[in-house]
Amino acid sequence: MKTISTAADMQQTVLALRAQGKRIGFVPTMGNLHEGHLSLIRIAREQADVVIVSLFVNPMQFGPNEDFDAYPRTFERDRALCEETGADLLFHPALEDIYPEGASVSVTESALSRTLCGAARPGHFDGVCTVVAKLFNIVLPHFAVFGAKDAQQLRVIRRMVRDLRFPVEIVAGPTVREPDGLALSSRNQYLTAEQRPQATCLRRALDEAERLFAAGERNPDAITVAMRKLIESEPDAKIDYVSIVDDETLQPLDGPITAPVLIALAVRVGSPRLIDNTPLRP
């Protein structure tokens, strides 16, 4: 596996590969990799001639109360994991190569990014869209793989690709979970021994929602009340949101569930803010 550290070298390399007829798969990450990220690389490996993984901690998607400097940088470990999992090229650019001095252009999505996590983290999805647009222009992939755990991000990226006519297919990778149901996340490492079992309340709340739905419940308020009750039974769990929204628009429902919806939740278990989701389809 080769590591490339500048945008110019990356573009030149990919243009040569595309000229050879190679199909390029791309997995963008901020590093500190876990099995969830590796599952995305494996999906790309199944569909691509050349798999490219980026490691770049994007400052633009960190809010004022989120510590960009404290985000774990584990390059050597991440590099080894990428190589073991089947990546062909690793793109590890410097900050100034992605955001040159005086950079003044950004990408804003103004509908899907205003609810759920976007409501609590203003500007976050502008940062996501901006860096992904830059990476798409540098890596020039035929397709890119994003995890379904970040459901809002996945939908925002798909909308950006559609609206800006990026010739990139977006592939969703299933959420990878621990044996007890907790979705894999870089933030799980910050849970204490007492908080770790409590964190399964996210998956248990989604299971309860699915159970109620299967039993015929179509009132979104009744489902969210049951979910909140389960989560609030854990002493260290503090709800950011528990929402049932239209699966396409991410807007709250104004009546019973009659079309596909997304149940999404964000919960702080101690300090870590964890997210999870599940779709429901009548």
- Alpha-carbon gap, residue 16 to 8, rounded angstroms: 13
Q: Strand order of the sheet with strand 261-269?
A: 237-246, 261-269, 273-280
In whole numbers, what is the pLDDT of the chain averaged over residues? 97
Pair of tokens at residue 57: 């901690």
Report the pLDDT value the prediction gives residue 103, as an integer from 0 to 100.
95
Is residue 142 among the annotated active site residues?
no
Report the pLDDT value the prediction gives residue 69, as an integer from 0 to 100.
86
Domains of the chain: 2-173 (3.40.50.620), 186-276 (3.30.1300.10)
Q: What integer is the mean pLDDT of 113-125?
A: 94
Query: Taking a C-beta distance cutoff of 8 angstroms, is the pair 26, 139 a contact?
Result: yes
67 has a pLDDT exceeding 80:
no
Q: Give pLDDT tens digits for 216-246.
A: 999 999 999 999 999 999 999 999 999 999 9
SS (H, E, C) the chain: CEEECCHHHHHHHHHHHHHCCCCEEEEEECCCCCHHHHHHHHHHHHHCCEEEEEECCCHHHCCCCCCCCCCCCCHHHHHHHHHHHCCCEEECCCHHHHCCCCCCCCCCCCCHHHCHHHHHCCCHHHHHHHHHHHHHHHHCCCEEEEECCCHHHHHHHHHHHHHHCCCCEEEEECCCECCCCCECCHHHHHCCCCHHHHCCHHHHHHHHHHHHHHCCCCCHHHHHHHHHHHHHCCCCEEEEEEEEEECCCCCECCCCCCCCEEEEEEEEECCCEEEEEEEECC
Q: Give pLDDT tens digits for 183-214.
A: 999 999 999 999 999 999 999 999 999 999 99
Q: What residues form DSSP beta bridges with 275?
A: 266
Report the pLDDT value the prediction gives residue 27, as an integer from 0 to 100.
98
Residue of 37, 92, 124, 142 with catalytic role: 37
